[in-house]
Structure 1
Amino acid sequence: MRMTERPTVPSAGLRRDLEILDVLAGHGDERDADGFGVSWIAQRLGREKSQVSRALRALEAEGMVERDPLTRRYRLGWRLFALAARTQQSRLVQVAEPYLRRLATAYDEDVHLCVLRGEQVLTLLSAPSSRAYHLVWEGITVPVIMAGAGRSLLADWHQEHVRELLRATLPAELDSSVASEKQWLADLTHVRTFGYVVTEMELDDIPAGVTAPVRDHRRLIVAAISMTLTRVPEEPHLHELGMTVAKTANELSCALGYPRP
């Protein structure tokens, strides 16, 4: 007698837990930053209050939900957000790789994917040129004021917030390796106007770099594409290069869910 493979039956308990998480995530007018009470959740799902209460306690023990000690309402927990953040970063790297490699191949320059971590710029991914020698940037963080990509990553910040950051972190006596506050603000204006900016490299002997912001489905800047330039072209060609980097950043943004213009 021939055995047939039985279809996988989803766990009823898992399905019920997911229904609770779905309710806590909120839909339309049902969103509530303060969370929801057990009675409301049970009524919403058409289930017994005691059953929902037990499920919530189990989910809370795993960090999937958390309970406000004052209101006794439940909301999504830290573990879900931690998982989502790791998943988003992993997807960002996977989706970005072919775009970076295309730029690196077309111009034979190193291209990097950078993100903001506090007041530091972290390089998540690099697509190297054909040169034999490369600086290793992946996994390295540098102060945002010393990174060309910082201009793109802070492009949506309010002008006063940028000034506060610069005044708190710029050295009292500036040397040639760090741009002034005036230049920084001018660079941000260029990013907002043209979608890219050319900066003098501030961390090594490479003369310049081009950077452009990457957005996600929320229209928020989540990363920056940064190309280091060993050969700086003339002004018209430099603008064309900047527009190409900006176009690539926009294509990556669309791949991440950003609405196409």
Structure 2
Amino acid sequence: MANQRTYGSGLVRDVDLLEVLALPEARDGLGVSRIAELSGRDKAQVSRALATLADAGLVSRDEHTRAYRPGWRLFALATHATETHLAHLAAPFLRTIVARLNETTHLCVLRAGQVFTLRSELASHAFRGLGWEGVGVDPFTTSPGRVLLSEWDEETVGQWWRTFAGGAAHPLPDLPGSTQEPPPLTLDRLAGKLAGIRKRGYETVDEEFEPGLVGVSAPVYGFRGDIVAAVNVSAPKSRLGGRLPAAGRFTRTVADRISAALGAPG
């Protein structure tokens, strides 16, 4: 029992150090002496604790300045916790879309150049888009991907284009029965589409990601006012193709409700 109490109190002290590193003053890192001062602890104890946290990836130490900052594992844990909370909070809102449109609905985020689905709510149709959760897809030819890029400035979008599309025009899939090859997606065309999203508040795709598949997406904003996710509806063109604008407007309305639940301003 004594060991359990010692471990618990040590964990609390380690958390105190992590909270110090989250202060605005620590933006460029803090040395051991300053961390000890702010936490009210002995410098030698703080040094040992920071070394242990660094071994676990929870803090990192600059070899030149010897300043400590939050580590990669802390960011990974925070991202996972945030996404888990977001997926849980969004679930009833996604079911609202399914009830209205009777189509499968997804909550998507951007990771390492790809769009990942955090949660799906399934419709009663045979086509349900099963297996999308945890699978990364192209951001440029999908409506959630474009929505997630839509708040970025031109320079950032261009950097992403050069990194993840190789700087070349992005080919679109050939459509069955068509005798003409669809024009590829260029950076200029993408910029125009992103401008349209900012104006409408949602995006549509018509057989750009996969022949016979259409979709709509709208942005979800976090408490800082930035886009943290996209709500997506995907379905065969035979069912949803004739009502894409209406589906986009409704999806935008529900996405705005999720944003409000997250404390987004405005």
TM-score normalised by structure 1 residue count: 0.82
CA contact (8 A) 2:108 2:118 kept: yes
CA contact (8 A) 1:145 1:169 kept: no
Determine the C-alpha separation between the residues in 2 that align with 1:126 and 1:194. Answer: 24
CA RMSD of aligned residues (A): 2.7
Give secondary structure in 2 for the equivalent of 1:185. helix
Determine the C-alpha separation between the residues in 2 that align with 1:242 and 1:133. Answer: 19
Seen in structure 2, the aligned counterparts of structure 1 residues 128 and 67 have a Cα distance that, compared at 3 Å, is same
Unaligned residue ranges in structure 2 (runs of 5+): 174-180
Deviation for aligned residue 1:9 = 7.1
Deviation for aligned residue 1:48 = 2.1
Seen in structure 2, the aligned counterparts of structure 1 residues 106 and 135 have a Cα distance that, compared at 3 Å, is same
Given candidates 9, 13, 23, the residue that maps to 1:16 is: 13
Map 1:43-54; keep pairs closer than 5 Å.
43-54=37-48
Equivalent residue number for residue 113 of structure 1: 107
Given candidates 40, 59, 66, the residue that maps to 2:34 is: 40
Percent of aligned pairs sharing the same letter: 38
Given candidates 131, 151, 157, the residue that maps to 1:156 is: 151
Unaligned residue ranges in structure 1 (runs of 5+): 1-7
Determine the C-alpha separation between the residues in 2 that align with 1:173 and 1:96. Answer: 31
Determine the C-alpha separation between the residues in 1 that align with 2:186 and 2:100. Answer: 32
Equivalent residue number for residue 168 of structure 1: 167
Give secondary structure in 1 for the equivalent of 2:140. helix
Seen in structure 2, the aligned counterparts of structure 1 residues 61 and 198 have a Cα distance that, compared at 3 Å, is closer
Runs of 4+ in 1 over 6 A off after TM superposition: none
Larger Rg: 1
CA contact (8 A) 2:58 2:73 kept: yes
Deviation for aligned residue 1:249 = 0.9
Seen in structure 2, the aligned counterparts of structure 1 residues 89 and 173 have a Cα distance that, compared at 3 Å, is closer
Given candidates 137, 141, 147, the residue that maps to 2:136 is: 141
Aligned length: 247
Seen in structure 2, the aligned counterparts of structure 1 residues 173 and 43 have a Cα distance that, compared at 3 Å, is closer
Deviation for aligned residue 1:225 = 0.9
